[in-house]
Amino acid sequence: MFVLSKISELVRVPPDDFARDTSLALQHQLNKQYAGKVIPHVGLCVAVYDLLDAADGQLMPGDGAAYVAVTFRALVLRPAVGEVLTGWITHCDAQGIRVALLGLFDDVFIPARMLFEGCRFSPDDGAWVWPMDEDTLLYFDVNETVRFRVEQELFVEVKPRSPAEREEDERRQQERQQKLLEGGSEVEKDAQPEKETPPAYAILGSCQTDGMGLVSWWE
C-alpha cells in the first residue's frame, strides 16, 4: 500500500530557517509542500522519507530566501490494483459505500455494482444489506471494519479556482448570509447547491468474493 517515490524539486528556504541544520530545514519545507497532498499520477504523499541530494543554495534578486535543488524520496500511499485492504466505512448511500484508510485517506469508494450479488440499500438503516441466505441478513454498517479489493485508481486534474471565481463565491456567500439574517430559513429553498469538487485521487474497490465485506462476518 505504501511506496517510496523519488522526486526532484526546487525548494525555497526562507531566512528564518537559515539557523537550522540544512537537511532539517529542507525536509521541513518539503513536508510543508508535500505532506498530506496528492501528487498527480503518484499518490498521496504521507511524509518526506529522506534526502538523496541537495545542491548549493542560490539567491534571487529581490528575495532573501535561498533556493536549493534537491532530490528526495517521499513515502506515498498508493495501493496496487488487486491488493486486498482493510478500512473503515464512513458513509453509505444508494450509490455505494465510502471507506477510509488508516485515518490518512478517505476517498475509497465501493460502488453498488461492486458489492455482493443481491445487496440492497436500506434507507431506514442507512446501510447496505447482503442477504447471505434466506435466514441471514448481513449489514455494512458505518464505523465497521471492511475488507475490500482495489479495482481501479483514479487521478483527476483539479484546476485551481481563478480569482474571479473566488470573488464570486465570496459574494454569493455574503448574499446568503444577509438573506438568512433578513428572511430566516425560507431563503434555503432558493439556494443553489454548490458543486462538489471531485477528489484529485480516488480508489474504486469491490466486495464480491468470500472473505470480503465486514471483517467480523468471517471471524
DSSP-based three-state secondary structure for 156:
coil
For the cut 50, the answer to whether the pLDDT of residue 39 exceeds it is yes
The model's pLDDT over 21-34, given as tens digits with 9 standing for 90+, comes to 999 999 999 999 99
Q: Would you tell me how many other CB atoms lie within 10 Å of the CB of residue 181? A: 9
89 shares a domain with 11: no
Asked if residue 195 has pLDDT above 60, the reply is: no
Nearest by Cα to 119 from 31, 214, 36, 28? 214
The confidence band for 57, taking pLDDT boundaries of 50, 70 and 90, is confident
Q: Considering the entire predicted model, what is its pTM?
A: 0.78
- Per the domain annotation, does 90 fall within a domain? yes
The domain tally of the chain equals 2
Which domain-ending residue is among 28, 55, 77? Answer: 77
Q: Is the pLDDT of residue 5 over 80?
A: yes
**Average pLDDT of 62-71?**
93
Res. 187: pLDDT tops 50: no
Q: Tell me what pLDDT residue 194 has.
A: 54
Residues 89-103: tens digit of each pLDDT: 999 999 999 999 988
**What CATH number did the domain enclosing 97 receive?**
2.40.50.140
Report how far residue 130's alpha carbon sits from residue 206's, in angstroms, rounded to the nearest whole number: 14
For residues 38 and 90, membership in a common domain is answered with: no
Q: What is the rounded distance in angstroms from the CA atom of residue 49 to the CA atom of residue 27?
A: 9
6 in the same domain as 45: yes
Same domain, 150 and 212: yes
What is the DSSP secondary structure assignment for residue 20, as one 8-state letter? S
Residue where a domain terminates, one of 58, 77, 96: 77
Among residues of the chain, what percentage have pLDDT more than 70? 89
36 and 128, same domain (yes or no): no
The Cα 217–Cα 88 span in angstroms is 14
Whether residue 205 sits in one domain with residue 107 = yes
Domain, as residue range, for 119? 84-156+197-218
| Residue 23 domain-assigned (yes or no) | yes
Comparing 193 with 209, the larger pLDDT belongs to 209
CATH of the domain at 21: 3.30.1490.120
Q: Per-residue pLDDT averaged across 110-121, rounded?
A: 95
Residues 57 and 94 in one domain: no
Q: Are residues 152 and 121 in the same domain?
A: yes
Q: Using only C-alpha atoms, what is the Rg of the chain? A: 23
DSSP assignment of 184-209 equals GGGGGGGPPPPPPPPPSEEEEEE--S
Q: What is the pLDDT of residues 169-180, one digit of tens each?
A: 777 777 777 776
The answer, yes or no, to whether residue 186 has pLDDT greater than 70, is no
